[in-house]
């Protein structure tokens, strides 16, 4: 990986954000993408999508995206989604599930007929990602799609909710709007629970159920989940009617994924990470830590040794989180150092390496982490840095999933020179708390 020198911190824009601007944001973004309508359009190369029942407006959008054929989950789900059937799908991020549930919504929703579809996602990043994708899929229609999540001002959301047809929301902020009476749910005919397993893991079950109860009973319900755990099945039994059950193979190709474990010591762990990041032939890399604090520390130290890294975790403001994700997407940073929650469900193209700087709590989390790489036919590497004290925990994580991880001898590394003052200023004891 080639790293550019760290540049100076970019200052915040000093331009005032005008209320009028925010007010029009939704409409404008839709109008901008509609300009794409001017392209010459020939649906003949879209036969495979057409066969699923998609009509011209959405086919146009898919053509601009250069999608050639549907993914497995799209092939299975789109006809049912358009027909209004309930769906329970085992399908992970990266499988193309947003179009799988979004196609039906976009095709069936009517402009200016109130909120007709509600998609619930577990994280703010995922809400942003799903709503951006839907805006692109709906670029040739007059539908408005609004992302609703916490950590940002509620007022622009209240204004946008009066003229939107599709909402993509995190449960907490959605419930807030329902309780304030700032959203009308009477016309909702479709609910999607995206990443249902994560939603349950994150303890959103009560919020999700309250939201579903506030929506009309006569509706289509689609549930998408990377893993179909007992909790997900139970939720599906409660809220779907005779759902079609769909399963897709993992979008991570095990043949393209190399998994390695290096035993290392407290003193050399950080240095090994920095060495690998600098010397491995790679595109983008994600480094997983278990706490916000360690995420920040690793990031700071990577920056100090000249690696363009940024942290993402739940302790950062939403603006900052969105900016970091955007910069990683556009490859302005090379390394994303993250906690599990912030990185769940994100689909980022070009992640060639996933590093487990700290051992995940269980095999489920391990699988979620490594699933960020080896996608869409590309090669990927998952590298685990294991301290002696973590070996048992790591063996347990692997044995639960019968995963094959090659144990390799770590390359020789010199201990990275870091500013001691940095550690002292943060009041942390390197030896005890944080393995370098
Ligand atoms: P998703 O699982 O919905 O987050 O989609 C993962 C990625 O695959 C996104 O970048 C989509 O734009 C892309 N994608 C979805 N469907 C297709 C398709 N049929 N052909 C090519 N790329 C697709």
How confident is the model over 144-191, as pLDDT tens digits? 999 999 999 999 999 999 999 999 999 999 999 999 999 999 999 999
Q: For the chain, what is the mean pLDDT?
A: 85
**What percent of the chain is predicted at pLDDT more than 70?**
83
**Ligand 1 centroid – CA 294 distance (Å):** 32
Q: Is the pLDDT of residue 246 over 90?
A: yes
Report pLDDT for 45.
59
Q: What is the rounded CA–CA span in Å between residue 48 and residue 68?
A: 8
Q: CB count, 10 Å around CB of 60?
A: 19
Q: Is the pLDDT of residue 264 over 70?
A: yes
Q: Is the pLDDT of residue 432 over 70?
A: no
Beta bridge partners of 260: 383, 406
Q: What is the rounded CA–CA span in Å between residue 376 and residue 148?
A: 29
> Which of the listed CATH numbers 1.10.1780.10, 3.40.50.300, 3.40.50.720, 3.40.50.620 matches domain 68-247?
3.40.50.300
String of DSSP letters for 146-192: EEE-SSS-SHHHHHHHTT-SEEEE-HHHHHHHHHHT-S--TT--EEE
pLDDT digits (tens, 9 = 90+) for 297-346: 999 999 999 999 999 998 988 888 889 999 999 999 999 999 987 677 77
Tell me, yes or no, if the two domains 68-247 and 257-425 fold the same way.
Answer: yes
Q: Is the pLDDT of residue 28 over 50?
A: no
Q: Is the pLDDT of residue 20 over 80?
A: no
Q: Where are the domains of the chain?
A: 68-247, 257-425
| Tokens 């942390």 found at | 428
Residues in the chain: 436
pLDDT digits (tens, 9 = 90+) for 110-130: 999 999 999 999 999 899 999
**Ligand 1 centroid – CA 73 distance (Å):** 10
| Tokens 């057409």 found at | 50
Compute the Cα dihedral for 195, 201, 203, 205 and give only its sign: positive
The residue ranking higher by pLDDT, 339 or 36, is 339
Contact between residue 112 and residue 86 where contact means Cβ atoms under 8 Å apart: no
pLDDT bracket for residue 400 (50, 70, 90): low
Site to probe by mutation for ligand 1, drawn from 61, 92, 99, 222 as the one with most ligand atoms within 8 Å of Cβ, is 99
Q: Is the pLDDT of residue 82 over 60?
A: yes
String of DSSP letters for 355-367: EESS--SSHHHHH
257-425 topology per CATH = Rossmann fold (3.40.50)
Q: Is the pLDDT of residue 368 over 60?
A: yes
Report pLDDT for 256.
86
**pTM for this prediction:** 0.71
**Ligand 1 centroid – CA 344 distance (Å):** 16
Residues with C-beta less than 6 Å from any ligand 1 atom = 67, 70-71, 74, 93-99, 347
């Amino acid at each position: 990986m080639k790293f550019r020198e760290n540049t100076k911190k970019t200052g915040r824009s000093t331009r005032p954000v005008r209320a009028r601007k925010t007010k029009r944001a939704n409409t404008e973004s839709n109008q901008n993408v509609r300009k794409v309508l001017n392209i010459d359009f020939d649906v003949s190369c879209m036969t495979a999508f057409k066969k699923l029942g998609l009509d011209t407006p959405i086919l146009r959008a898919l053509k601009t995206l250069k999608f050639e054929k549907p993914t497995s989950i799209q092939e299975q789900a789109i006809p049912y989604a358009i027909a209004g059937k309930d769906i329970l799908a085992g399908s992970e991020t990266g499988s193309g599930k947003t179009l799988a549930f979004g196609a039906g919504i976009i095709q069936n929703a009517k402009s200016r007929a109130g909120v007709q579809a509600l998609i619930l996602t577990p994280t703010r990043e995922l809400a942003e990602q799903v709503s951006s994708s839907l805006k692109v899929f709906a670029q040739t229609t007059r539908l408005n799609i609004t992302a609703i999540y916490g950590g940002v001002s509620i007022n622009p959301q209240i204004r946008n909710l009066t003229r939107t047809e599709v909402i993509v929301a995190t449960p907490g902020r959605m419930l807030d709007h329902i309780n304030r009476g700032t959203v009308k749910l009477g016309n909702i005919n479709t609910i999607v629970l995206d990443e249902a397993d994560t939603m349950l893991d994150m303890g959103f079950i009560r919020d999700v159920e309250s939201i579903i109860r506030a929506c009309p009973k006569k509706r289509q319900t689609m549930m998408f989940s990377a893993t179909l755990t007992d909790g997900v099945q139970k939720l599906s039994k409660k809220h779907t009617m005779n759902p079609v059950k769909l399963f897709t193979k993992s979008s991570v190709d095990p043949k393209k994924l190399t998994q390695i474990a290096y035993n290392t010591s407290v003193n050399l762990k950080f240095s090994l990470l920095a060495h690998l990041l600098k010397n491995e032939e790679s595109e983008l890399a994600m480094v997983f830590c278990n706490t916000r604090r360690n995420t920040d520390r690793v990031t700071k130290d990577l920056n100090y040794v000249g690696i363009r890294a940024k942290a993402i975790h739940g302790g950062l403001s939403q603006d900052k989180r969105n900016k970091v994700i955007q910069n990683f997407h556009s490859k302005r940073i090379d390394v994303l150092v993250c906690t599990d929650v912030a990185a769940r469900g994100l689909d980022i193209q070009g992640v060639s390496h996933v590093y487990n700087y700290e051992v995940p709590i269980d095999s489920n989390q391990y699988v979620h982490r490594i699933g960020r790489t080896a996608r869409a036919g590309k090669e990927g590497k998952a590298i685990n840095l294991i301290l002696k004290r973590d070996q048992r925990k790591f063996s347990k994580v692997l044995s639960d999933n019968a995963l094959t991880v090659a144990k390799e001898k770590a390359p020789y590394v010199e201990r990275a020179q870091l500013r001691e003052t940095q550690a002292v200023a943060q009041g942390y004891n390197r030896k005890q708390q944080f393995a370098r």
